[in-house]
């Protein structure tokens, strides 16, 4: 009995140790599978929204359902005026725009230019980057005017005017009234048609202003003065002296030619007066003294 009991005890101890090792192994595996404490990444759309409009002229774009009338003014200092103007025109054509106004001042070196161009609003940001690469940007401003309500009001008035025109056309088609009523309807329809054409013109203008941004570009050049030596300054001073002397002589000659006839008349009159006075004086001397 004793031997049998003692033989069972070692086997039970080995089983207990096996259970403990298995529990420890399961605990370690469970710790390795614990979920990470870092929050899950957000949806890609949210990340895209948070990174929109980072840097660059033009800033964030307005909502697609808003009608914006954008005006940009920028001033650049460029090495050569004519080359910058040619590049600017090429950029406008490439963007699908056009030049509405342009003026040149002075020569290529040291001159300036002012241009007003229209470019599609959708490509305004890219166009402004390319224009800024022409030279050094001295100033840049942007104005965006929201004309959404004005466009909606214009469309509503145009819709009502067209509906009124249709009702008048129906009256003319039926002709249920007298001749005077028909004439009155035709007159009213002419007025309504004029209103429709005016509103349509305003709508085209507004839509064009929304679709095309206005960009005013001023190009300036820096004219560097070259230092002159003493000899060069003396030569320039001599030239200025000769020019001044020539101008004085020409002015004097011109004055003499202009006032010559008048001076001749005055001189002849003074000479005749001198002759008369001298003759009177001789007569007085030749006359005998009174007795």
pLDDT of residue 107: 87
pLDDT of residue 40: 36
The span from the CA of 61 to the CA of 178, in Å, is: 58
CA end-to-end span of the chain: 212
CA atoms lying within 13 Å on the CB side of residue 230: 0
Cβ atoms 220, 76 nearer than 8 A: yes
The span from the CA of 53 to the CA of 49, in Å, is: 9
List pLDDT tens digits, range 185-244.
888 888 888 999 999 998 888 888 899 999 999 999 975 444 556 777 787 788 888 888
165: confidence class by pLDDT, cuts 50, 70, 90: confident
Strand ordering across the sheet containing 112-120: 98-105, 112-120, 212-220, 68-77, 136-146
List pLDDT tens digits, range 34-77.
444 443 333 332 233 223 333 344 444 455 578 889 999 999 99
pLDDT of residue 48: 30
Whether pTM > 0.75 for this model: the answer is: no
Q: 218 - beta bridge partners?
A: 75, 114
78: confidence class by pLDDT, cuts 50, 70, 90: very high
Displacement of CA 291 from its chain's centroid (Å) = 107
Q: Where are the alpha helices (DSSP H) in the chain?
A: 2-32, 44-50, 81-94, 124-132, 148-174, 179-211, 230-286
Q: 261 - beta bridge partners?
A: none
List pLDDT tens digits, range 101-153.
999 998 888 889 999 999 999 999 999 999 999 999 999 999 998 988 888 88
pLDDT of residue 177: 64
pLDDT of residue 132: 93
The span from the CA of 221 to the CA of 215, in Å, is: 20
Longest CA pairwise span in the chain (Å): 212
Tokens read off for 191: 């007025």
Angle (CA) 220-226-227 rounded to 5° is: 140
Backbone angles phi, psi at 148, to 5 degrees: -65, -45
Average pLDDT of span 269-275: 85
Going by DSSP bridges, is the β-strand pair 212-220/68-77 parallel, antiparallel, or unpaired?
parallel
Backbone angles phi, psi at 23, to 5 degrees: -65, -40
């Amino acid at each position: 009995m004793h031997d049998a009991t003692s033989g069972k005890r070692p086997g039970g101890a080995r089983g207990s140790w096996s259970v403990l090792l298995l529990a420890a192994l399961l605990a370690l595996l469970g710790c390795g599978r614990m979920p990470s404490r870092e929050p899950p990444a957000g949806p890609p759309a949210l990340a895209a929204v948070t990174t929109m409009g980072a840097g660059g002229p033009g800033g964030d774009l307005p909502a697609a359902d808003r009608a914006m009338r954008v005006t940009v003014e920028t001033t650049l200092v460029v090495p050569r005026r004519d080359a910058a103007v040619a590049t600017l025109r090429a950029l406008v054509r490439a963007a699908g725009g056009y030049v509405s106004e342009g003026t040149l001042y002075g020569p290529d070196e040291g001159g300036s230019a002012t241009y007003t161009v229209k470019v599609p609003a959708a490509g305004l940001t890219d166009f402004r980057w390319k224009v800024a690469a022409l030279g050094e940007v001295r100033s840049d401003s942007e104005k965006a005017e929201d004309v959404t309500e004005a466009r909606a009001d214009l469309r509503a008035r145009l819709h009502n005017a067209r509906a009124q025109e249709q009702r008048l056309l129906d009256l003319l088609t039926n002709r249920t009234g007298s001749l005077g009523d028909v004439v009155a309807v035709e007159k009213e329809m002419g007025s309504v048609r004029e209103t429709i054409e005016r509103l349509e013109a305003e709508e085209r203008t507004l839509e064009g202003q929304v679709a095309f941004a206005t960009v005013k570009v001023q190009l300036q050049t820096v004219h560097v003065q070259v230092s002159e030596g003493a000899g060069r300054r003396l030569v320039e001073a001599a030239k200025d002296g000769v020019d001044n002397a020539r101008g004085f002589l020409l002015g004097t000659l011109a004055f003499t030619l202009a006032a010559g006839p008048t001076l001749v008349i005055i001189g002849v009159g003074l000479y005749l007066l001198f002759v008369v006075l001298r003759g009177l004086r001789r007569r007085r001397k030749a006359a005998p003294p009174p007795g």
